[in-house]
Chains A and B, each alone.
Chain A
Amino acid sequence: MLGYELIRRAFLVGIFLALSLPLIGVPLVLRRLSSTGDALSHVSLSGVAIGLLLGIDPIIGAIGACIIASFSIEGIRKRFHRYSDIAVAIIMSAGIGLASILSGLVKNVNFESFLFGSILTISKNELYIVITIFILVVLFYLLFYKELMYITFNETQARISKVPINLVNFIYLIISALTIAVSSKIIGALIVSSLMVLPTACSLLFGKNYKQTIIYASLFALFFMISGIVISYYQGLKTSGTVVLIGVISLIISLIIKYLISNLKQKNLHH
Chain B
Amino acid sequence: MKKFIEFSNVTFNYESLTILEKINLIINEGDFIGIIGPNGSGKTTFLKLLLKELVPTSGEVKYYDDYEIGYVEQLSLNIESAFPYSVKEILMMGLYSKIGIFRLPKKSHHELIDKTLNLIGIRELKSKRISELSGGQQQKVMIAKALVASPSLLVLDEAFSGLDEESEKNLINLLQKLNKDHKMTILFVSHHFDDKSYLNRIFTLSDRNIIEIEKEKA
Q: Is the interface of A mostly helix, strand, loop or mixed?
A: helix
Q: Tell me which of B17-25, B87-95, B174-182, B210-218 binds A.
A: B87-95
Which of B84, B85, B93 meets A146, CB within 8 Å? B93
Q: Which of A143, A146, A149, A210 has the most CB of B within 10 A?
A: A146
Interface membership of B195, Cβ < 8 A: no
Interface membership of B1, Cβ < 8 A: no
Which of B73, B84, B149 meets A210, CB within 8 Å? B84
Which residues from A are CB-within-8-Å of B125?
none
Interface membership of A204, Cβ < 8 A: yes
Indicate if the CB atoms of B53 and A156 lie closer than 8 Å.
yes
Given known contacts A30-B83, A156-B53, A157-B71, A147 and B101 CB-to-CB distance under 8 angstroms: yes
Which of B53, B84, B92 meets A213, CB within 8 Å? B84
Interface membership of A159, Cβ < 8 A: yes
Q: Tell me which of A2-10, A35-43, A127-135, A160-168 binds B.
A: A160-168
Indicate if the CB atoms of A207 and B51 lie closer than 8 Å.
no
Which residues from B are CB-within-8-Å of A213?
84
Interface membership of B129, Cβ < 8 A: yes
Indicate if the CB atoms of B71 and A209 lie closer than 8 Å.
no
Nearest CB to that of A204 among chain B residues? Answer: B82
Indicate if the CB atoms of A150 and B84 lie closer than 8 Å.
no
A212 to B89, CA, bound (A): 11
Which of A143, A146, A208 meets B96, CB within 8 Å? A146
Indicate if the CB atoms of B93 and A149 lie closer than 8 Å.
yes
Interface residues of A (CB under 8 A from B): 30, 143, 146-147, 149-150, 153-154, 156-164, 203-204, 207-213
